[in-house]
A = this chain, B = another copy of it.
């Protein structure tokens, strides 16, 4: 079994109104000095070892987990040691 962690972020240059809203909310609460806030998604899941090829994970990201038109993704995998 492999643990996969996927990070999905908006591409540079794509407007991020959610990030802007969070930034303003922080400022309103007195947390100043925040800039360039970007909000993305983080997903983690277990994957059967025989499915955990680079190719397979990239297909999952391209087809469902990220929108490749406006989003970038990166992922990490780590072996799960079954106890």
Contact = CB atoms under 8 A, between A and B. Distances in A.
Contact of A25 (B7, B39, B64): B64
Categorize the interface residue count of chain A. Answer: 35 or more
For the complex formed by this chain, how many copies does it contain in all? 2
Contact of A46 (B35, B39, B63): B35
A38 B45 contact: yes
A42 B44 contact: no
Interface of A: 7-9, 19, 22-23, 25-26, 29, 31-48, 50-51, 56, 59-60, 63-65
Given A22-B43, A22-B65, A23-B45, 5 more contacts: A26-B64, A32-B48, A34-B60, A40-B44, A41-B42
